Amino acid sequence: MKNVTVTMNEALLQRARVADARDGKSLSRFIAEAVEQRVGRRLTQFEAIERFLAGPPLHVLDENGKAPTRDQLYDDD
């Protein structure tokens, strides 16, 4: 974990302290979670694979269920 310095006005700081206390979190954790919600978090490898596999199907087979040959794929006609 890295430490960062955050600058904000007093009114915003006061509202953040009330919100973090209400949630039972430290101000540091509260801010970290807010940033994570904004920028997202890095997916695990498993999550990335699941997301890929859940995506739209790749329609590469023809009407007979056969994949194109290499020559068909790279035909420049």
Whether pTM > 0.85 for this model: the answer is no
What band does 45 get if pLDDT is binned at 50, 70 and 90?
Answer: very high
Would you say residue 59 lies in a domain? Answer: no
Q: Which residues, including other chains, have CB under 8 Å from residue 61's CB and lie 6 or more apart?
A: 67
Asked if pLDDT for residue 77 goes beyond 70, the answer is no
| CA 12 – CA 18 distance, rounded (Å) | 10
* Whole-angstrom distance, CA of residue 64 vs CA of residue 75: 20
Q: How many domains does the chain have?
A: 1
Residue span of the structural domain in which 37 resides: 1-54
- Provide the CB-side half-sphere exposure for 3 (13 A, CA): 1
Q: How many residues does the chain have?
A: 77
Please state, in angstroms and as integers, the Cα–Cα distance from residue 22 to each residue in 15, 26, 27, 39, 71, following that order: 11, 10, 11, 23, 65
Residue 21 resides in a domain? yes
Residue 75 located in a structural domain: no
